[in-house]
Amino acid sequence: MKKRVALVLGSGGARGYAHIGVIEEIEKRGYDIACVAGCSMGAVVGGIYAAGKLDEYRNWIESLDYLDVLRLVDVSFRLGAIRGEKVFGQIRKIVGEINIEDLRIPYTAVATDLTNQQEIWFQEGCLHQAMRASAAIPSLFTPVMQGNRMLVDGGLLNPLPIVPVVSSHCDLIIAVNLNSTNQKQYQLPVIQRPPAFKSRFDNLVRSLGSHLPFRRKQAEQLLLLEQEALQAQAADINPWLESAEPEAQQPAAAPEKAGAPKSATGSFIIDNVGPASLLDLINQSFEVMQTSLAQYKIAGYPPDILINVPKRVCRFFEFYKAPELIALGREIASDTLDRYESEQS
């Protein structure tokens, strides 16, 4: 008989794509996911899974390159850099209009009510609104107004919502923490994909239906104009998007040096690594807070299986890395479940 699993999917920006790989590995091993609770990207992936549309969502996000992600950015000048209507509009197309109580398994999305300063659980009502509210990352996505309440990312109060599934009476609680700091053996896999510019150029040439020289020149000019417009859009939002180029690498850690400051844990603090912009500063601060809160949640309600995804594998907003993050989630889940199953045998 299949073991019934209560699945908890944590928040962590783009790293939330790893949840898809985790779900695939859990199902591959014959476990039955009987309920799901999620926060932020965990709420999005969990909601789409509960609606039975995860394959369609995966196909869409794996098709996005860097320029596609920029095209989905709808600039806002109020309470967030991005309105999110393009991104969540596409998610609405995939999932359709459905209420939480009509999903095939119980589902909880966690958001934060800034007005009343409290945690909100969505367990009924519009699935789309629940996902959008839970994923309203402060400074990145604009908040969701619901009556007199302003709703933002649930990660402000509960980045790993284990409590909603405690009463589910499942055989196992599996929690996926996207803010781990101690999984140094894992690296983001390298997946070869055609450069965005070349791919768009080839597609545009084919759409013109001719290989005549003047046609190729016209296609190249059109593509250059598109790329320049998208880059200008990114610059208008904030320099943090400019710093998220696909080829950008995190600075290497500096060697130990005499007199370098140490943290409370004794590790050396690197003084040449820091946020590139105000939004980057806010997001890094948000992640530090989530990391600490997640540890408290794990200590208070230890799950049967904890799958730790290291937060250093990608930056909070690198949403063009879906194939790599899905593969990484599957790898970490496989290793974690191997250890659990060997202990049970």
Q: Please say if the pLDDT value at position 76 is more than 70.
A: no
Kindly list the distances between the CA atom of residue 232 and the CA atoms of 36, 42, 175, 289, in Å, as whole numbers in the listed order: 40, 31, 40, 32
CA–CA separation, 195 and 204 (whole Å)? 14
Question: 260 pLDDT exceeds 60?
Answer: no
Give the pLDDT confidence of 96-139 residue by residue, as tens digits.
999 999 999 999 999 999 999 999 999 999 999 999 999 988 77
CA distance 330 to 147: 40
Share of the chain above pLDDT 90, in %: 52
Domains in the chain: boundaries: 4-198+285-344
Q: What is the mean pLDDT of residues 88-100?
A: 95
pLDDT band at 85; cut points 50, 70, 90:
confident
Q: What amino acid positions are annotated as catalytic residues?
A: 40, 153
3-state secondary structure of 108: strand
Is residue 254 scored above 90 in pLDDT?
no
Kindly state the tokens that stand for 305.
Answer: 């299986």
Average pLDDT, the chain: 81
Res. 307: pLDDT tops 60: yes
- Give dist(CA 276, CA 240) in Å, integer: 7
Please report the pLDDT score of residue 239 as a whole number: 44
What predicted TM-score, i.e. pTM, was given to this entire model? 0.79
Please state the φ and ψ torsions of residue 248, each to the nearest 5 degrees: -65, 140
**Mean per-residue pLDDT, 186-194:** 80
CATH of domain 4-198+285-344: 3.40.1090.10
Element (H, E) at 305: strand 305-310
* Averaged pLDDT, 148-159: 93
